[in-house]
Structure 1
């Protein structure tokens, strides 16, 4: 198609439990939505489900598609990589869908799509530079400059979840004990300390009780000392992790998504720790929750066009 931006665009979020498709206009208004369950561990069935869901939309034949996936397209091979839905790894998803659907297709990591959504018309729409953070079952991130996604030379820009968290630089009470193994094979990745399951592990190590992250936060609000200790440690660790991003990128806005982003104390407490780690006499970076919530990923996929 021509270099002109389309009047409408299709966004698809390829999630672990559902595939969601939307049609979005240039004003960011969603005009159509369809959802189907994600097939389990089957690449061919996933292609068929995406084809089926597109068939349910009332759209012109040449309307382009943006897809958010739990991984990225290798710029070297054109094949999928780094997908936690492992059946996608090594597969030519973009090429197969373009051929199957007869449409132009763009693919980006779901955290990148989240960031693009919030930078385009969400919580960070007035920020010239944006770092988007997913704090969910895992930890991901993305970067937008002037509302344009930055992918990087290896398509891993923003993947801070698998940086090693510098626990030896931790300042404050409740010092964490290093040595957490990550599924990626490294030790003490950011994800092993800041994902929702990481908070659960910290509380379990402290008390022996196995509670959900939401339950731990509720107990902290209610005044339980152990929960307050673990949540305070989490705030400090999040500041430590984000300080690396701020020292390198110094983004205007850091926007948070994922289940842990619903923890209100993050927005009042993390800033109190940042000046311990950021190499500046003042920290002006805004840390805000996402506006579009669970819809940010699929909206960002549509904004790829």
Structure 2
């Protein structure tokens, strides 16, 4: 089996596309990002291809290509589904990207990429069963088994963001409307969007999640109550993940993962909700932060061809 040299990862986000080239040891060789051409499918493909060519021109090497997307490829149709970057849905993204690049490309959900990244050389390096959580504008989840993506026959393994909030209180039912067409999804409670919505619903004041977190750090009571509700909901949601999957570790990425208080709060809250009253599952912050997705996309190609 031939060794793989340079790997190129591309992380397709709602506002930016980031590309990263690493060598076989995970050392960064080049990195670039561009704005995402929102609502323009053809321009999105062209932007990703241009980034690959730029990385290869800059390094003088040809690399394997992996891409992380905010959705999944249907095994039935070969088309994108479940993407909150909705202009991708129903499109043959994988086929079009490979045809435009004239080579094989591996594509995975961005949360799966985070899990692979952290299982390979991140906060969960060499851990067998890693559950990756993205808490950003939205809320995603993915699974890495022995460093490889596990997505299941429907491509939705670990996708907890569109499960309902467990054990909802009266004031939490039916919950906010989600873009997926349902109400009360985890995404609408524990994402950055959900935290800001909860604060506004309770206080009547509009604040960004970043501002709420800053207010919390400064001792503001309304912000503290918002964070307390968020952490309790996060614990309820993750308790279901533990009850069903019982992963060896949960790694949290995305912008909300920077709220360090959650890593003290969750170990205390999870036993209240996990079946049996025990929850020794480590919950840790992603080592590579916002770069976990793009690194995981690069690591979709393992050290040996399979």
TM-score relative to the length of structure 2? 0.92
For structure 1, list consecutive stretches of 5 or more residues without a partner in the other structure.
none
Instruction: Determine if the alignment matches structure 1 residue 38 to structure 2 residue 27.
Output: no
CA separation in 2, counterparts of 1:50 and 1:30?
Answer: 18
> 2:124·2:251 contact (CA, 8 Å) conserved in 1?
yes
Per the alignment, residue 192 of structure 2 pairs with: 196
Per the alignment, residue 285 of structure 2 pairs with: 289
C-alpha deviations, 1:216-272, integer Å up to 9, x for none? Answer: 222223332222222111111111000000011111111111111111110001211
Of 247, 258, 269, the residue aligned with 1:273 is 269
CA separation in 1, counterparts of 2:102 and 2:239?
Answer: 44
Q: Deviation at 1:193? A: 0.8
Task: Classify the secondary structure of the residue corresponding to 2:225.
Answer: helix
Per the alignment, residue 109 of structure 1 pairs with: 109
Q: How many aligned residue pairs are there?
A: 298
TM-score relative to the length of structure 1? 0.92
> 1:167·1:176 contact (CA, 8 Å) conserved in 2?
no
CA separation in 2, counterparts of 1:273 and 1:16?
Answer: 32
Moved more, 218-227 or 197-206: 218-227
Per the alignment, residue 49 of structure 1 pairs with: 47
Task: Classify the secondary structure of the residue corresponding to 1:256.
Answer: strand
Task: Classify the secondary structure of the residue corresponding to 1:167.
Answer: coil
> 1:79·1:90 contact (CA, 8 Å) conserved in 2?
yes
C-alpha deviations, 1:102-146, integer Å up to 9, x for none? Answer: 211111111111111111111111422111001111100001121
Give runs of aligned pairs for residues 57-72 of structure 1, distance below 5 A: 57-58=55-56, 63-72=63-72
Per the alignment, residue 23 of structure 1 pairs with: 21
Q: Deviation at 1:151? A: 0.8
Moved more, 261-270 or 26-35: 26-35
For structure 2, list consecutive stretches of 5 or more residues without a partner in the other structure.
302-306
CA separation in 1, counterparts of 2:51 and 2:213?
Answer: 38
Per the alignment, residue 201 of structure 2 pairs with: 205
Of 7, 10, 13, the residue aligned with 1:9 is 7
Cα RMSD (Å): 1.8
Q: Deviation at 1:56? A: 1.4
Per the alignment, residue 226 of structure 2 pairs with: 230
Q: Deviation at 1:5? A: 4.7
